[in-house]
Structure 1
Amino acid sequence: MDEVILTCDTHNKMLTEALFDYYKKEEMFDATVCFEDGKIRAHKLILSALSPKLAHVFKIDEETRHVYFTSISKSSMEYLIEYIYRGKVSVPSEALASVIEAAEYFQIKGFMSQNNGIENKVLKGVENLPVMEVEK
């Protein structure tokens, strides 16, 4: 029996845009990530896809809807969540260190250092601060 392979060159882009659209419209959320300075609602599956740490938390009890972190700021996590949903984020230079620290805490894929086994690129002019990509 012959098979036909159906493909779409823009599938990844369309999927990424659709997922971020759900996030922006605040639709179908099933998780709330809480911090000392606020909370962010999101989708467990999306957060878990790029954060082994969050995936572990959500797997411990699949009914978990709220997770609490006291050492991370809401603003740092907002940048990470945009990165998780879109694959890129623009971070002001004054926030970069705290965002990278939060990315390492949550083990965000693409932000991890090489000694953790994930390839990265380094910002020009900023020594030893690993990030996935910088767009200006």
Structure 2
Amino acid sequence: MTAAELFAYANVLAVKNGFSPIAEQQPEKDPNLVLPGDRLVLPDGRLLQVGPGQYIYDIAAKEYRRDMARIGILERQVDVLKGVYAGEKKPEIKQAILQRADDIKRLAVTPKSRQRYAAVQASLRELGFAIP
């Protein structure tokens, strides 16, 4: 994880929850920014309850790593399903592939994750999928 990726993710997290964009890449940690018990909406729409001693950057770092791992799992699932789909053009397999691609799109909120989504899109287009 690069500092720029973490900064981008933290900004998305802050703005999505009504905070001003983080103005600098290493802002002071402000304990009043989020309070224990506050609920934050993560960039992909999931809810997270803030625990004691957590800051936007701490939460962003943890959730960014988690989201990138989820993208990796989804990418592998898409690859496996593409192999199955190539042999059997079943609609349910196509739907499973499209659902996973949509999940990746939902998680793709930083430049690096958007690049990974673009690679999935390109590989699906090669198979004839209509991906927006």
Q: Quick check: which has more Rg, 1 or 2?
A: 2
Which protein has greater RCO, CA pairs closer than 8 Å, 6+ apart?
2
Higher fraction of strand: 1
TM-score normalised by length of structure 2:
0.30
TM-score normalised by length of structure 1:
0.29
